[in-house]
Amino acid sequence: MNPGSILTYSTALIPTITLPSGSGPASYDSNHKPGSPISHIATQWRHAYNIGKSSMPFCAIGAGTAYAYLSYVFRHETTLRPADTRTSNWYLLASGLVMSIIPYTLLVMSPTNKSLLSRAEVADAESMTGVSKAKEAASKASGDSKATREDVEVLNWLKGWAELNVVRSLFPLAGTLAALYATLY
């Protein structure tokens, strides 16, 4: 399980898709209007979310199962080595930590995920009816660089999601460190 791939969503993806127009630095400043329409940003987030959703749980289950197997193996004596409960427990901890991204996502991140996914669905409906293009044209015509209330709301959801995702990335990192400790000591 690669905790870095989870962390990259928070540290690279979200700041990049919310960049303001021009060459300013990436930030979560919700007072500045992002360079892309908020509907497009929500759709980009949904696309990235679906990529992670289709792979990360399986990676977590695979790595967690491997660590659980190692825990089982080290708990039993073989002709080559005695049982090692301490090492077994470290692998068991690693297994639990790596797989904990699944309940964390379902229990802690679901409200934010649902909000962002519903905004992406609204963007889909707007694009079919042409409403988003009319909103974008009106915004450009006004020349206002300030974010609308809707923009701020979605940007705040993205910021909250990125923060929760950083926490989520710590679980497989801790699991990997526990497995490394079990292997080396």
Output the pLDDT for position 126: 87
Where in the sequence is the domain holding 49, given as residue range(s)?
3-184
Q: Tell me the whole-structure pTM to 2 decimals.
A: 0.84
Arithmetic mean of pLDDT, 7-33: 78
Output the pLDDT for position 141: 54
Q: Are the CB atoms for 71 and 175 separated by under 8 Å?
A: no
Predicted confidence (pLDDT) per residue in 90-103, tens digit: 999 999 999 999 99
> pLDDT at residue 154 above 80?
yes
Output the pLDDT for position 30: 54
What are the start-end ranges of the E strands in the chain? none
3 state SS of 146: strand
Output the pLDDT for position 150: 86
Phi and psi at residue 164, to the nearest 5°: -60, -35
| DSSP, res 19 | P
* One-letter identity of residue 74: F
| DSSP, res 147 | P
User: What is the domain count for the chain?
Assistant: 1
